[in-house]
Structure 1
Amino acid sequence: MTEPWLFTEAPAALAASSVTLMEGTTFCIGDRAGDLGGVDPGGLFVRDTRMLRVWDLTVEGRRPAPLTVHHETPYAAVHVGHLRLPAESGAHEIVVTRHRVVGDGLREEISLVNCTPRHRRVAMELAVASDLADIFEVKDGRAGESSLPARVIQPNHLRIEGVPDRGYGLVVVPDGAARATPSGISWTVDLGPHGSWSTILEVVVSAGGVVLEPHHPRDVPVREALPYRRRAEWWATAPRLDTPDARVRGLLQTSVEDLGILRIFDSDDPDHPVVAAGAPWFMALFGRDALISSLMMLPLSPELALDTCHVLAAHQGRQRDAVSEEEPGRILHELRLGPAGTLALGGGSAYFGSVDATPLFVVAVGQVARWSGPAAVTPDLLQAVDRALDWITESSDRDGFLSYVRKTPNGLRNQGWKDSWDGVNFADGRLAEPPIALAEVQGYVYAAFRARADLADALEGGRHAGEWRRRADDLKERFGQRFWLPDRGWYAAALDRDQQPVDALTSALGHLLWSGIVDLRLADQVVSHLLSPELFSGWGIRTLASSMGRYDPLSYHNGSVWPHDTALCVSGLARYGYTVEAARVANALLDAARVFDHRLPELFGGFDRATTGIPVPYPAACSPQAWAAAAPVEIMRSLLGLEPGQDGLECEPFLPDQMLPLRLDGLRWRGATYTIEVDPAGRHRMGPGS
């Protein structure tokens, strides 16, 4: 069996001209004409399965030439094309419009307009094909080009089914005038002089034996459908930013839009949305990604973190299963709904191969209490926190460090956020062998112990709070003794199976500052290395220093720049009082975002700024991607010095001059909204939101 979570190559990149629509776990990749068959990889994907591979339109055997594409919303687009058809009385020009919306299926309205004063009868055909390929097969280039057989069912519907006992398939539902054949749907259309004609089709899909209810039924206007209402509600609470800095204005607006796009709603629990990891290949719940993204979004949407914690608690490990790596108390790595993922999991949907999602879950619940109030942490949620802490204790090695080794050959070899096969390596380039105790994970555990102590103070009258703080202090001391490399002046990236320090210089230093586990006496050295030319590219912090043996600026985890990683470095620098350095790194990432049209990608090349002059895109980077979209919010929180205090929301800004004056309205804390104003001299005022 293949290893579905382990990618030795980058996922297939999308063509620059492709058009992508997204809504929940549905996405559609086509070309500018609206066809799906000419894009590789392309198609309509629902719940990790490619439902349509071909959806290609011809009129009189000719493909309309695309004129324009208008994105009405992230899930709706209008494709406009035209063609000139020869006729005895002169050429007929016909405009073809395809209005497509997606969401647990697809609805498309096709319109023809005769631009001439002459009558014309035309034949229109829509070729339809599906392979019901799993998303893992498509993004790894293993799906091939074969299609499943289709059959016509009454009256003129087209059905395509996969293996019966898996319950995946679709039905194309045209209007009454259409004709269906196993290859697609066709119409004969009479167009009077300057006349027009239109038709509507629906694609109704089945996944896992369940017929999904389309989010855009044909009898409901798009502006009245559920996705439109959800998007309107999301934007109603969006912040309003006024600053002369166009970088920040554009970036924050795009971030809010992208995070709204990436939200996924479980039909069984629609009141607790979470964010998918990234488009197009990771439109699923990933524990680590959802937690970090929601933590970054706390000032704008504290309920997102609460919803994320509730959903992850509901899927928390209950038993031991080597196939899925489930263990009691463990937080999942990802939730997959397609056939390949569930087969690899022995029929399940959750894979638990993550070492950091569990401590980050505890940290997130602690932050929920700070931003939404202790009452938001229900008894059930607190019990989930304690189960998570039990897992951390049971999974720690003999020296008390949380480590990982995969339980199944189908799982991830590396289970931290740098989860590529070569993501953990020594300075000379050798790969570290598991069990591996990552440095940043020990920082997350330290923060989790501190969070549990605060929860004890807020919810349990301080019972056991001292014990949790002692555990945190003990871990911090042991971490310093074992991970600090005095001859290098930085912390080891990890300890390997032989308890030897993995001596690579990595961006983990920033995560350690973010968590608070760095000894104050060593902070100057840590910051010096973090801002060194080896780690700081001028656009952001590299994942691996350029002086290391495996450094490659276009690798996935060994020298590239990840915006969320850099944002955590900014927060860590600010936490330890290095505001000048934090502002420098933040400014660099904001400059990069401007080059990327105000949308930070999942990652980009780690080339030196002085060498390339522009940030170099990484092939196949997800965009939008959840924690890249959330990174600008985290950077703004750091630059504003926002922290929940005992008596309210505290603010100590150190904004770069080009951002001033600044006004941010719509900050959220404990059910209230706030406005922050910072004048050109850097003086600030905070009050109730307008």
Structure 2
Amino acid sequence: MSELLQPSLHRQHVAVAAPSQVWLGPDGRLTPEPAGLTGVFHADTRFLHRVQVTVDGAEPQPVGVSSAGGVLTVEGLARNIPGPTLDPAVRVVQTWTVMPGAVRHRIELSTALPDLDCTLAVHLGADFAPMAAVRVGGTAVPVEPSHDAGRLVWAADGKSAVVTPETPGARVATAIDVESDDTDGFPSGHPSLVWSATVRRGVPYAAEWSVALEDAGAVVRAAPPADGAETAGTGPAARLEAASLRQLAGLRLATTREPDAPFLAAGAPWYFTLFGRDSLWAARLLLPRDSALGAGTLRALAAYQGSERDVESAEEPGKIPHEIRARELVVSHGPGGDQLRLPPVYYGTVDATALWLCLLGELWATGRAPEAVRALVPAARRAADWLLASATGPGGFLAYRDESGHGLSNQGWKDSADAMQFMDGRHAQGPIALAEVQGYAHQAAVAAADLFDELPGGGGSGLRTAAAELREFASALRARFRESFWVDDAVGPFPAMALDGGGTPLDAPGSNMGHLLGTGLLDAEEAQLVVDRLLEPELFSGYGIRTLTTAAAGYWPLSYHCGSVWAHDTAIAIRGMRAEGFNPEAAKVARGLLRASESFGGSLPELFSGVGTDSSDRALAYPAACHPQAWSAASAVVVAQALAP
């Protein structure tokens, strides 16, 4: 989803241990940012919106922030305390450690002075702001704490933040009196932890406190730890993969309904929950490294599989959900604009059910979790029935249209309101049939048919009959796609991104066609045409594959879905190229993503600008891109595979 007033994220510093996360500003502060995001978050809520350190009433001057192993370290100097020379005399090092449901904050003072007596204080504020409000720049409304045996306790609506001093000698204050010529915005009146510190040259002073975070209504919790996934090699691609796997370890979650079924939260900060499409694609990209995650993702989503028809939630029997939250999600689209209102369990996705079947088939093919797959066969049968019953859009394709009036207007992976458009910039009207969804449906039908045929006793349970129906469906879909989706322009033929409600192909080349590779929907000649078009300069920026051709009227390199580059989108194309035997082409695109990662500190954010290597020697940030993002980080596995010797 795209919103108008999203905080910038590209310069912020983050540490995650799902379902908790800490976001600091570019300089390492955790105070309300006018444009960026800061706070201590848990599940779907910001708990603390202010954690401000002062030494004798003034904030340290920030000099650097570093991250290692998910721990953030902030270097600062207490410049308000003079020394015998012009050199800074007092160093302040803050360390943030995030654990599921808890955060520890350590402040260490050291000095070049023979001795120093000073007041160290941590000023705190909690607002329990919903993530949706934070995302559109909502103003914090502080909640008053209570004092409890030397602790500060904030509580509201089943949520609590309990702050405990871990270092003796702390006193709790609602404000402290200071005498300073420059208080640097000292937050008078904020609840505070205060220590009287004595520091000597060579003998630092350290104070530590922690906050326990709890949300009784949360639908997610920390997942059981994973077995460590080993990476091979020492080159740039292997280093990217290793760093990405470390990021992904912080995104592991489980639902309260299926606490032993791990999956990956879609991304930080906004998507710390179970998403159908995102969690499934992340698990598929990671399957060579982690089959247990694939099995857990399938189980977690099957627990919410649709059982009835409901317009408000878009639920249908057999359908896999789009997202799970603790409460209704409400997002306003600017002053006087429409509201997006999604119920806690929302099914407005056209692709998650097919992707669920694709992952199930791929997991079965590995042979690593046969019992997990067998246990999911009833859910697979219901998903297959949904698939067979849902090809009711224009021309008999899988299509979508929001029937509620307040759900997602676009229900594929490009789900922003302007994502589906023609070359002249006109927006497509629904119901819309996406090209990639037909590819997913084809692969899902064939995979489910193979599974149903292979399982012992399939005939008696009716699975063999279902398998035959699925194969017939896949064959007919393949023929219809060839007749309806292929279009021509000056460069040559290519598959359109989608068909609109009248069956007219969208004539703007886009990255969607890359998702068709490896699904079995294309023949060899068609696959060659798709690969060739993806490598044309209009789509391949040198860093990745643009979501929309540069020739389109609606192209803009900083458009969320109409010109930017998404790491997972490009990785899916790389994966498909390899499946079709286009290994040199896959390696070329993988080298582009690897080069892009170097612009972002050796990692891959959610998306980045479509500005190419012909215009910039580094990939340019999309300021509101999430990081870490599950399917973007998982893309590193595909890059490493494509570039393996």
Same fold (TM over 0.5): yes
Pairing of 1:511-590 with structure 2 (within 5 A): 511-590=515-594
Q: Quick check: 1:78 aligned with 2:69?
A: no
Kept in 2: contact 1:514–1:568 (CA 8 A):
no
Seq. identity, %:
36
Per the TM alignment, residue 252 of structure 1 is displaced from its structure 2 partner at its CA by: 1.8
Q: Quick check: 1:402 aligned with 2:398?
A: yes
| 3-state SS, counterpart of residue 108 of structure 1 | strand
Per the TM alignment, residue 188 of structure 1 is displaced from its structure 2 partner at its CA by: 4.5
Kept in 2: contact 1:114–1:191 (CA 8 A):
no
Call closer, same or farther: CA 1:84–1:11 in 2, change over 3 Å.
closer
Per the TM alignment, residue 567 of structure 1 is displaced from its structure 2 partner at its CA by: 1.9
Call closer, same or farther: CA 1:345–1:539 in 2, change over 3 Å.
closer
Per the TM alignment, residue 282 of structure 1 is displaced from its structure 2 partner at its CA by: 2.1
Per the TM alignment, residue 485 of structure 1 is displaced from its structure 2 partner at its CA by: 2.4
Kept in 2: contact 1:32–1:66 (CA 8 A):
no
| 3-state SS, counterpart of residue 633 of structure 2 | helix
Counterpart of 2:182 in structure 1 is none
Per the TM alignment, residue 384 of structure 1 is displaced from its structure 2 partner at its CA by: 1.1
Q: Quick check: 1:168 aligned with 2:187?
A: no
Per the TM alignment, residue 24 of structure 1 is displaced from its structure 2 partner at its CA by: 0.5
Kept in 2: contact 1:493–1:506 (CA 8 A):
yes
Call closer, same or farther: CA 1:461–1:518 in 2, change over 3 Å.
farther
Q: Quick check: 1:292 aligned with 2:284?
A: no
Kept in 2: contact 1:125–1:184 (CA 8 A):
no
Matched to 1:310, the amino acid is R
Per the TM alignment, residue 548 of structure 1 is displaced from its structure 2 partner at its CA by: 1.8
Kept in 2: contact 1:205–1:211 (CA 8 A):
no
Deviations 1:566-612, CA, capped at 9 Å, x for gaps: 22222323333333333332333333333433312222222342233
Q: Quick check: 1:127 aligned with 2:129?
A: no
Per the TM alignment, residue 479 of structure 1 is displaced from its structure 2 partner at its CA by: 1.5
Per the TM alignment, residue 539 of structure 1 is displaced from its structure 2 partner at its CA by: 2.4
Kept in 1: contact 2:435–2:497 (CA 8 A):
yes
Per the TM alignment, residue 307 of structure 1 is displaced from its structure 2 partner at its CA by: 1.1
Aligned counterpart in structure 1 of residue 352 of structure 2, from 350, 357, 363: 357
Deviations 1:13-34, CA, capped at 9 Å, x for gaps: 1362x32111102111124775
Q: Quick check: 1:183 aligned with 2:176?
A: no
Counterpart of 1:241 in structure 2 is 233
Per the TM alignment, residue 551 of structure 1 is displaced from its structure 2 partner at its CA by: 1.4
**Partners in 1 of 2:567 and 2:83 — Cα distance?**
60
Matched to 1:30, the amino acid is L
Counterpart of 1:109 in structure 2 is 106
Q: In terms of mean alpha carbon deviation, does 280-289 or 453-462 score higher?
A: 453-462
**Partners in 2 of 1:212 and 1:405 — Cα distance?**
29
Matched to 1:66, the amino acid is P
| 3-state SS, counterpart of residue 387 of structure 1 | helix
Counterpart of 1:485 in structure 2 is 487
Matched to 1:185, the amino acid is S
**Partners in 2 of 1:549 and 1:532 — Cα distance?**
18
List alignment gaps of at least 5 residues for structure 2. Answer: 175-188, 333-338, 459-463
Call closer, same or farther: CA 1:602–1:124 in 2, change over 3 Å.
same
**Partners in 2 of 1:157 and 1:408 — Cα distance?**
47
Call closer, same or farther: CA 1:567–1:30 in 2, change over 3 Å.
closer
Per the TM alignment, residue 476 of structure 1 is displaced from its structure 2 partner at its CA by: 0.6
**Partners in 2 of 1:22 and 1:411 — Cα distance?**
29
| 3-state SS, counterpart of residue 110 of structure 1 | strand
| 3-state SS, counterpart of residue 324 of structure 1 | coil
Counterpart of 1:24 in structure 2 is 18
| 3-state SS, counterpart of residue 409 of structure 1 | coil
Call closer, same or farther: CA 1:486–1:146 in 2, change over 3 Å.
closer
Kept in 2: contact 1:113–1:196 (CA 8 A):
yes
Counterpart of 2:178 in structure 1 is none
Pairing of 1:593-672 with structure 2 (within 5 A): 593-637=597-641, 639=642, 662=645
List alignment gaps of at least 5 residues for structure 1. Answer: 1-5, 216-225, 640-654, 663-690
Pairing of 1:298-309 with structure 2 (within 5 A): 298-309=287-298
Per the TM alignment, residue 114 of structure 1 is displaced from its structure 2 partner at its CA by: 5.3
Per the TM alignment, residue 494 of structure 1 is displaced from its structure 2 partner at its CA by: 1.4
**Partners in 2 of 1:603 and 1:318 — Cα distance?**
35
The number of residue pairs the alignment matches comes to 609
Aligned counterpart in structure 2 of residue 431 of structure 1, from 421, 427, 432: 427
**Partners in 2 of 1:588 and 1:212 — Cα distance?**
35
Q: Quick check: 1:144 aligned with 2:139?
A: yes
Q: TM-score, normalised by structure 2?
A: 0.86
**Partners in 2 of 1:452 and 1:156 — Cα distance?**
59
**Partners in 2 of 1:558 and 1:138 — Cα distance?**
25
**Partners in 2 of 1:186 and 1:256 — Cα distance?**
37
Per the TM alignment, residue 481 of structure 1 is displaced from its structure 2 partner at its CA by: 1.6
Backbone CA RMSD of aligned residues: 3.1
| 3-state SS, counterpart of residue 391 of structure 1 | helix
**Partners in 1 of 2:327 and 2:523 — Cα distance?**
45
Aligned counterpart in structure 2 of residue 9 of structure 1, from 4, 8, 23: 4
Q: In terms of mean alpha carbon deviation, does 376-385 or 283-292 score higher?
A: 376-385
Per the TM alignment, residue 542 of structure 1 is displaced from its structure 2 partner at its CA by: 1.6
**Partners in 2 of 1:55 and 1:490 — Cα distance?**
54
| 3-state SS, counterpart of residue 133 of structure 1 | strand
Call closer, same or farther: CA 1:615–1:85 in 2, change over 3 Å.
closer
Matched to 2:172, the amino acid is R
Counterpart of 1:260 in structure 2 is 249
Kept in 2: contact 1:30–1:38 (CA 8 A):
no
Q: In terms of mean alpha carbon deviation, does 605-614 or 471-480 score higher?
A: 605-614
Kept in 2: contact 1:405–1:434 (CA 8 A):
yes
Q: Quick check: 1:367 aligned with 2:359?
A: no
Kept in 2: contact 1:573–1:579 (CA 8 A):
yes
